[in-house]
Amino acid sequence: MAKQEDVFKTIVAHAKEYGFVFQSSEIYDGLSAVYDYGQNGVELKNNIKRYWWEAMTMLNDNIVGIDSAIFMHPTIWKASGHVDAFNDPLIDNKDSKKRYRADVLIEDEIAKFDEKINKEVAKAAKRFGESFDEAMFRQTNPRVLEHARKRDELHERFSNAMNANDLAELKQIILDYEIVDPISGTRNWTDVRQFNLMFKTEMGSTADGAMEVYLRPETAQGIFVNYLNVQKTGRMRIPFGIAQIGKAFRNEIVARQFIFRMREFEQMEMQFFVRPGEELKWFEHWRQTRLRWHKALGLGDEKYRYHDHEKLAHYANAATDIEFMMPFGFKEVEGIHSRTNFDLSQHEKFSGKNIKYFDPELNESYVPYVIETSIGVDRMFLSVLCSCYEAQDLGNGDSRVVLHFPAPIAPVKCAVLPLVKKDGLPEKAREIQHKLRFDFTCQYDEKDSIGKRYRRQDAIGTPFCITVDHQTLEDNTVTLRERDSMEQRRVSVDELETILGSQVSLNSLLKKLL
């Protein structure tokens, strides 16, 4: 574990050093859980967004996009349930003055039982060697069974408390299991309180009677309240979807793990409107479609898994997370939810407007059911960054850090490098760069040795380097170096656009989805 933590720290440091992600307001000692994207980060982020947007809106005839405002009428958040129920249970430690999510403290305690079980299994595996039957051991070993029993007991008590919204019981669990503050090491806890995650601000001047408004905690509601506008003006027929990319804000109690949990982040959400009764069929469709989208990037199929929800939000009748293997374990990157007709019905009720869809085939009106796919851009960015990072030992004391980004989403697609800074090579290199830059993000670099320049491009994940040397002036050929294999081959300048185009275009990725 410690090793994985070190790897993660190294990746975070790399992200800063190479212009991917900076702490917000760093010169003022930072603003907690808020981050800025640097020159390379913004390119990667934009490419991820483009991959999602085009997969949604260009590959589906019946999905269109919108861009709704961050501010919305405050009653929207009353209708959606966020004002009353978008809460996390928090608890403070009186000695460290640190604030924690009570549910997370207990979940960590539950995870400790699994760690104990895994330790027993690892010990036994070592002892028995080849003949070890892990499944049998897990089912029969008394110590494993005892840990599992205790885990299930705690889990059940915890779920009951969460479902009943019983804050006193959550505190009692923390006391009974002697959970200590990891910083102060004490059990000097306050009571558990509910904490609403929405940021509030005021709109209009106080003299006019300012209105309290919220920064949206999800982009979805902007889609719901516009669904009929889009349906009517776009002459959409059910089933159809509306996609949106935009900022969301949550006053997270404990912001951890770099850009995994931020207070200002970006979501890519698609709401798919279907006939009542057909929602589970479409839920299954989107569950599979979304995993295919992730896997097409080629980061490794084994890094994904579904986590089907047993406990459903009150409005949902099916929900799954797509989890990705981060350096700190499998974590949610995307949620796929069958939200029934809850949101639209609530908006109908609170706005007093009829927002039913008229289905010409059935000749009847109804409130559509909705399947939502909701993915965090920043979490997606983090999963790409972590899985592509490699500190590679090249032998003979040589090493490099390389980001194996899938070429279509790499921030920089190619770099043009004159071998030396004289003899007309820079001019020729510039000429090539100017030709390529219409189609590809393309850098020019003439500083330092060619080896150092290759390393710099590897460290930001540039898939191709194009080296211009004296031979280029004679026969118009260059050396094309490929990032992952480091192979070099001689190609004609005239071929560059075709070669690069076939490897780095987003189309090559999108075509895998059909």
Residues 6+ away with beta carbon under 8 Å from 400: 391, 392, 394, 455, 458, 459
CB of 216: closest distance to ligand ATP in angstroms? 12
Beta carbons within 10 angstroms of residue 29's beta carbon: 8
Spatial distance between the Cα atoms of 234 and 150, rounded to a whole number of angstroms: 56
Pick 368 or 376: Cβ nearer ligand ATP: 376
Token output for 374: 């909701």
Instruction: Give the Å distances, CA to CA, from 279 to 211, 255, 316, 338, 431.
Output: 37, 34, 11, 7, 55
Spatial distance between the Cα atoms of 364 and 379, rounded to a whole number of angstroms: 41
Pick 382 or 417: Cβ nearer ligand ATP: 382
CB of 39: closest distance to ligand ATP in angstroms? 22
CB of 253: closest distance to ligand ATP in angstroms? 10
CA atoms within 13 A on the CB side of 42: 6
Pick 55 or 412: Cβ nearer ligand ATP: 55
Pick 96 or 257: Cβ nearer ligand ATP: 257
CB of 233: closest distance to ligand ATP in angstroms? 28
Residues 6+ away with beta carbon under 8 Å from 283: 318, 336, 338, 371
CB of 178: closest distance to ligand ATP in angstroms? 26
Interface residue list for ligand ATP (CB under 6 A): 218, 250, 252, 261-262, 265, 267, 332-335, 374-376, 378-379
CB of 391: closest distance to ligand ATP in angstroms? 26
Helix (H) or strand (E) holding 512: none
Could you tell me which of 347, 356, 363 has the C-alpha nearest to residue 273? Answer: 356
Pick 157 or 307: Cβ nearer ligand ATP: 307
Pick 108 or 202: Cβ nearer ligand ATP: 108
Spatial distance between the Cα atoms of 262 and 45, rounded to a whole number of angstroms: 15
Spatial distance between the Cα atoms of 168 and 201, rounded to a whole number of angstroms: 31
Pick 216 or 250: Cβ nearer ligand ATP: 250
Instruction: Give the Å distances, CA to CA, from 411 to 47, 219, 312.
Output: 8, 26, 38
CB of 426: closest distance to ligand ATP in angstroms? 43
